[in-house]
Chains A and B, each alone.
Chain A
Amino acid sequence: MPAVSHVPCPVCGDFCDDIEVTVEDNVVTDVKNACAVGAARFLNFAGHRQMKPLIRKNGELVEVSLDEAIRRSAEILADAAYPILYGWSSTSCEATRVGLELAEEVGGVIDNTSTICHGPSILSIQDIGISSCTLGQLRHRADLVFYWGSNPWSAHPRHIERYTMFSEGRFRQSAWEKYLSSLGGILTRKRLQRAVNLLLGRRLSSPPEVEQGLPYTMFQKKRKMVVVDVRRTRTAEAADYFLQVKPNNDYELLQALRMLIRDEELDVDEVAGVPVELLEEVADVMIGCELGILFFGLGLTMSEGKHRNIDAALSLVRDLNQYTKFLIMPMRGHFNVTGANVVFTWQTGYPFAVDFSRGFPRYNPGETSVIDILCREESDAALVIASDPVAHFPKTAAQSLVRSPLIVIDPEPTPTSFMADVVIPSAFVGIEAEGTAYRMDHVPLPLKKIVEPAKTCLSDVEILQRILHEVRKMRGGP
């Protein structure tokens, strides 16, 4: 059976576009090149679907026609004084464009998942700017890779192989062989350590002897990887060096590095649980590299300090550019959260938390962001698409969300659709529907349609266009 190749994977921010999918009789039977999560998506997407539109009547969700569900959705939005339109990160840019038009039409607030993800990173970028690039730049040139508060092994499985350590670039070779040869050493050392601990009755998980300095590999002219995290993640195991930082102390560590790269003296012996002597070596390695990259994740955005942590990271990288070439990039989670930011920004000027209630776009995270609006109980209706806030919002916010009329557009049943008042099944974008999405580094790629969706599952674009059309009719417009 011929395989469809070059299929971009609609799961995480890596947005790998080299997936090969075999489709037989409209069923995906094989997937090549994808990671475990990507493969799971392609092979299982059809297995747990919302097939029919539903409306909650007398407390129970009952099947209705699509027309009725659309009409009811339009009613809810048109009648609301301050509706929320939330999600957008796992659908196409085309759908987001319609969503913005709809939000503007009903004078509501439109927000995307960056509000609980990299929103703080965006706030920081708006204050400081950012020295960044597309991922290929790193494949070709990066010889020092930091993963800070980010664990690609779990969240972006092919990141390291496609873009950093194990990729082959014009000016840099892959570090795969080096990793493989050291892997044996790592495993042996671990087993040996366990054995010794058992023998001596030590705690089984006692920390390894703190190394007196950085390993020699950190000073070689090859690709090197450093992981900074509060615990030794899988990515940390593969790193040349792992810096364990005390929880909620990233800000101090980043600022300390900023001081050290400028040759300033630190008055203390350790920062965030790391000895200053070690930090001085790390600073030297950073200045001494040819091109460094700092990837950071939610470890920075979500812990204490939030966007101030990112301020420090962005400033550190910016300052490093006085000595060498250094870049920074947030590890975006969903495959099109970047796209949501991009489309929001070109149409409204703002990347998330956009309020249309006064007839023009307003942006004030903390006021117009969805968690805050919900916690203050200011919204009176919501449309949720391509996301699952009931599963991921803090309880108070989720409870506020479900208390008002809730419309959910999703291909599958989720905790949010479980609580909804209207459920509209949609096609899986990137598999059953086309569109455009933006990778974590802002590179846009086309999403493919490789399987026909069920007749009851329209694309997000079509569903939203119909709702918009109904809303306009109700308001007596064109």
Chain B
Amino acid sequence: MDIAISNGRIVEKVDERKAEVIDASGMVVMAGGVDIHSHIAGSEVNAGRLLRPEDHRKDVEVKTAITRSGVGYSIPSTFTTGYRYSRMGYTTVMNPSMPPLEARHTHEELNDTPMIDKASYPLLGDWWFVLEYLRDGLIEECAAHVAWMMRATKGYAIKIVNPGGPESWGFGGNVESIDDPVPYFNITPRDIIRGLCKVNRLLNLPHTIHVHTNNLGKPGNYITTLETMRCVEDLATEGKPAIHITHCQFSAFKGSDWRTMKSGAEDIAKYVNSHNHVTLDMGQVVFTDTTTMTADGPFQYRLYGLTGNKWVNHDVETETCAGIVPFRYSRRSSVHATQWSIGLELALLIKDPWKIYLTTDHPNGAPFTKYPQVISWLMSRVARKKVIKRISRRARRNSLLPNIDREYDFYETAIVTRAGEAKALGLKQKGHLGVGANADLAIYNVNPRLVDPSKEYGTIRKAFSRAAYTIKSGEIVVKDGEIVRPVQGRTFWVDIKLSSPMEPTEELRWKFRKYWTVEFENYPIPEDHLTASVPITVEARI
């Protein structure tokens, strides 16, 4: 079949005599990759870049006539980030952690991240306004303020990290379960998750609440994850998802301590297989040296305690926090190897590929440049076996993978790396090749009729590492894995229309001055601050 492109969109047909023709015979054609969760911009990411000059030194990008220079490895500089995603055939990336007070920083970095369309999720789970309104049961007021905040920060979705944790971390504490009350605020993580889930529905946002669970990284936390998914079961409507659990691997540990730690993927998969209100992304680990960075301050401090590595902490007034610790995953560590296994188990045990997406929670599990390797593991049992042979014995014994025969085919791979994510994000024009879609395509040099991915996983990996063609908004930007045309990419955000728009009241301004150290007028980001702004209008239910 042929695909026709005109003016940046896929159309029914074009005049072939006037068109540029790409012969993609013998190759796989997919929509451009969509990454639902990757830390690529903002204060937390940049603090990570600053922290790791040694990480950059081993991986440099030389300036060319059309591309800027830069550095990798686990936290690439902005230009390099854009180029590397594009070389892999990705065209849309979501930056999942944006402290609202520093949203301007996130957008400035996104402006300097070429080649891809992007958006960012403001961290709202511990925002004082949210905590107070939900505590007082004022869901509609909360929703109105969240709408204001989305516009002020040019955000795309509601991000919640270890709800209650960041506020407790303000004084060095944490929450231990979803019913553990947040000090000073008389509200529990369960209230926060449910409250924001309702807010999300009232505002009609394209994506669900995006949740990093409590107790991340703790043996036995799979229980918390199940509770988190259960706690919004009754809020699901029309069989549509109500919650997205991100980098689920880190939240799928069984056991009571590091010695007895093992996989909780089976229980989680069982739940997900029988419920339609949840989507997940993997958070796959790869054995390499990388950098962890999340808004889970207490977790990151604990990681510092475990490793003794350098540790950055950044608390953001009134809103959230962040922590960064370099981390090396080793195949010889039974814990790390089990983590490696868990990510794949989740993807293979969850039957419906529309419910689970491929991520490494870049850079937490591994740099995003490792995606092709993860794809090869999903598509080939043999590739998995090769790794299992060399991991820690205890992890090998406990791993469920040896008993899992399933191998992804190209369609399933396309779903977990683009179509499913676009659908979960509500990006209707992305992730597919139907008429009307954005003309974002990736053509990979692998012939599905000739190549058996199960056996030729090396070919798969190579093919997905360097796209034969990447097409962005109808222009060829990558050829044979090299940038041939630098483009800007656009920044998406939700422009929420309330039935009665919220005017900043005197009370809001007064509260603002009490809560923050910046003036109300200087807080919101004007639209023209985004180099290529694409607001997505949304009609709220209030």
Contacts and interface: CB of A to CB of B under 8 A. Distances in A.
Contact of A134 (B65, B75, B77, B315): B315
B82 to A, nearest CB: 12
Contacts of A171: 184
Interface string A326-350: 0100000000000001110111111
B105 to A, nearest CB: 5
Interface of A: 5-6, 8, 17-18, 93, 97, 101, 104, 122, 125-137, 139-141, 162-163, 168, 170-171, 290-291, 318, 321, 324-325, 327, 341-343, 345-351, 356, 358-361, 363, 436, 438, 442-446, 477
B318 A17 contact: no
A438 B69 contact: no
Contact of A97 (B46, B71, B112): B112
B342 interface: no
Given A348-B77, A349-B70, A361-B60, A126 B108 contact: no
Main secondary structure, interface of B, reads mixed
Contact of A129 (B53, B62, B324): B324
A346 B112 contact: yes
Contacts of A136: 317-318, 515-517
Contacts of A444: 102, 104-105, 108
B352 interface: no
A8 B56 contact: no
Given A133-B321, A342-B105, 13 more contacts: A101-B68, A104-B68, A126-B51, A126-B310, A131-B313, A133-B313, A137-B316, A140-B318, A170-B515, A348-B77, A349-B56, A360-B60, A443-B518
B70 A133 contact: no
Nearest to A138: B317
B500 interface: no
28 contacts: A97-B112, A125-B51, A126-B52, A126-B310, A129-B311, A131-B312, A131-B313, A132-B315, A133-B314, A136-B317, A140-B317, A141-B170, A345-B49, A345-B50, A346-B109, A347-B68, A347-B70, A347-B79, A348-B71, A348-B77, A349-B53, A358-B62, A361-B56, A361-B60, A361-B69, A361-B71, A442-B43, A443-B101
Taking residues whose C-beta sits less than 8 angstroms from the other chain, chain B's interface range is 35 or more
Contact of A349 (B49, B172, B309, B515): B49
B69 A324 contact: no
10 tightest CB-CB pairs across the interface, nearest first? A136-B317, A325-B172, A133-B315, A349-B71, A129-B310, A136-B517, A129-B311, A349-B56, A6-B519, A444-B104
B77 A347 contact: yes
Interface in B501-538: 514-522
A104 B69 contact: yes
Interface string B64-78: 010011110001111
A318 B519 contact: no
A442 B109 CA distance: 14
Contacts of A139: 317, 517
Contacts of B112: 97, 346-347
A288 to B, nearest CB: 13
B53 A126 contact: yes
Contacts of A17: 518-519, 522
Contacts of A347: 68, 70, 77-79, 112
Interface in B92-119: 101-102, 104-105, 108-109, 112
The SS class assigned to the A binding surface is mixed
B63 interface: yes
B227 interface: no
Contacts of A6: 519-522
B301 interface: yes
A346 B317 contact: no
B315 A327 contact: yes
Contacts of B521: 5-6
Interface centre among B71, B313, B515, by most chain A C-beta atoms within 10 angstroms, is B313
Contacts of B46: 342, 345-346
B61 interface: yes
Nearest to A128: B310
Contacts of B318: 136, 140
Given A360-B60, A442-B102, A348 B70 contact: yes
Contacts of B61: 360
B77 A349 contact: yes
A477 to B, nearest CB: 8
A140 B46 CA distance: 26
B105 A125 contact: no
A336 B2 CA distance: 53
A346 B39 CA distance: 13
Interface string B29-63: 00000000000010100110111110010001111
Interface of B: 41, 43, 46-47, 49-53, 56, 60-63, 65, 68-71, 75-79, 101-102, 104-105, 108-109, 112, 170-172, 184, 301, 304, 309-318, 321, 324-325, 514-522
Contacts of A346: 41, 46, 49, 77-78, 108-109, 112
Contacts of B314: 132-134, 442
B253 to A, nearest CB: 25
B522 A446 contact: yes
Contacts of A137: 170, 315-317
Contacts of A291: 170-172
Nearest to B312: A129
Nearest to B170: A141
Contact of B62 (A8, A135, A359): A359
B132 to A, nearest CB: 11
Nearest to B326: A129
Contacts of B324: 129
Nearest to A344: B50
A17 B517 CA distance: 9
Contacts of A436: 104, 108
Contacts of A97: 112
A134 B316 contact: yes
Nearest to A127: B310
Contact of B50 (A93, A133, A351): A351
B313 A134 contact: no
Nearest to B64: A359
Given A136-B317, A136-B517, A446-B522, A359 B63 contact: yes
A321 B314 CA distance: 13
A445 B524 CA distance: 10
Most buried by B among A135, A170, A324, A358: A170
Contact of B312 (A130, A290, A324): A130
A125 B517 contact: no
Contacts of A135: 317, 517
For A128, A359, A444, the residue with the greatest tally of chain B CB atoms inside 10 Å of its CB is A444
A360 B69 contact: yes
Contacts of A290: 171
Contact of A125 (B50, B63, B78, B522): B50
A18 B519 contact: yes
Nearest to A445: B522
Contacts of B65: 477
A359 B522 contact: no
A361 B70 contact: yes
Contacts of B515: 136, 170
Q: Which of A134, A291, A321, A436 has the largest count of B CB atoms less than 10 A from its CB?
A: A134
Q: Which of A131, A132, A168, A324 has the most CB of B within 10 A?
A: A131
A46 to B, nearest CB: 24
Nearest to B43: A442
A126 B522 contact: no
Contacts of B184: 171
Nearest to A168: B514
Contacts of A8: 522
A17 B184 CA distance: 29
A351 B47 CA distance: 10
Contacts of A360: 60-63, 69-71
B517 A134 contact: yes
